[in-house]
Amino acid sequence: MTTEPVAGAAIDVRGLRKSFGALEVLRGIDFSVARGEVVCVIGPSGSGKSTLLRCVNLLEEPSAGRVTVAGTEVTDPEVDIDRVRRRIGMVFQSFHLFPHLTALENLTIAQRRVLRRGRAEAERIARSHLARVGLSGKEAAYPAQLSGGQQQRVAIARALSMDPELMLFDEPTSALDPELVGDVLAVMRALARDGMTMLVVTHEMSFAREVADRVVFMDDGSIVEEGTPEQVVGAPRHERTRTFLARVL
């Protein structure tokens, strides 16, 4: 059974199911993210967190259910998914920068090709976002000349330079050396403070506790519990959540 979407939500997911062959990875997910809200998704490896994110921008096609992003039902077969995707910034565990382009060029290429911005405007916007993530002076650097944390901040700045209405993060700090995690989380924290709508898959419980408005715990393709960080991380009601937290905290 599918309930009605929440009006005005940035992301609304109803009755979402996803199978790969015989394997059911999402078993009926209902949740929504309000505009300006920061929601962290936590849960064990293989529980379906990445698949959920990928269903939100249709990198995966849901097997059943409805996904609505900023008022557009992306699961409607008539929808122009490229137009919807343009409004969603996505940051992955691996940075996916173009290795043969400088940091500045990594930020301007999609602005110019997709948004049709002229070079001067695209570069101005790119510089402002590189400054925002603390990378002024690195415009001419190639990805290989940057640390992992700097590369991930370039990836965040690149997503921001497309003026997204919301941002999806899939374990953005998991591939980083521990000493580089803090700079990336600081950028994300500032973004949250600026009012960006964010759906963040993370194992960083301190980030979830400090920054998330809501935490969703997933296990085995279902949402087991959700609530404020104090509720879900601080006082979990379900045994499965407690077991997971005992492993990561």
The listed partner (Mg ion, ligand ADP, none) that binds 241, CB under 5 to 8 Å by sort, is none
Instruction: Identify which of residues 45 and 116 has a Cβ nearer to ligand ADP in the complex.
Output: 45
The listed partner (ligand ADP, Mg ion, none) that binds 20, CB under 5 to 8 Å by sort, is ligand ADP
Least distance to ligand ADP, CB of residue 201, Å: 7
The listed partner (ligand ADP, Mg ion, none) that binds 47, CB under 5 to 8 Å by sort, is ligand ADP
Summarize as ranges the residues that interact with ligand ADP (CB under 6 A). Answer: 20, 23, 25, 43, 45-51
Instruction: Identify which of residues 27 and 86 has a Cβ nearer to ligand ADP in the complex.
Output: 27
The listed partner (Mg ion, ligand ADP, none) that binds 157, CB under 5 to 8 Å by sort, is none
Of 82-111, which residues contact Mg ion (CB under 5 A)?
A: none
| Residue 162: strand, helix, or coil | coil
Instruction: Identify which of residues 50 and 152 has a Cβ nearer to Mg ion in the complex.
Output: 50
Instruction: Identify which of residues 161 and 202 has a Cβ nearer to ligand ADP in the complex.
Output: 202
Least distance to ligand ADP, CB of residue 8, Å: 28
152 to each of 35, 37, 134, 185, 192, how far by Cα in Å? 24, 22, 12, 10, 17
CA distance 47 to 63: 17
Q: How far is CA 111 from the centre of its chain?
A: 20
Report yes or no: 65 and 28 within 8 Å, Cβ to Cβ.
yes
CA distance 120 to 161: 14
**At residue 38, what is the residue type?**
V
Helix/strand/coil percent split, the chain, to 5: 35, 25, 40
CA distance 172 to 134: 17
Count CB neighbours of 140 within 10 A: 10
Residue 51 sits in the site that holds Mg ion (CB under 5 A):
no
CA distance 88 to 164: 5
Instruction: Identify which of residues 50 and 102 has a Cβ nearer to ligand ADP in the complex.
Output: 50
Residue 173 sits in the site that holds Mg ion (CB under 5 A):
no
Binding site for Mg ion (CB under 5 A): 50
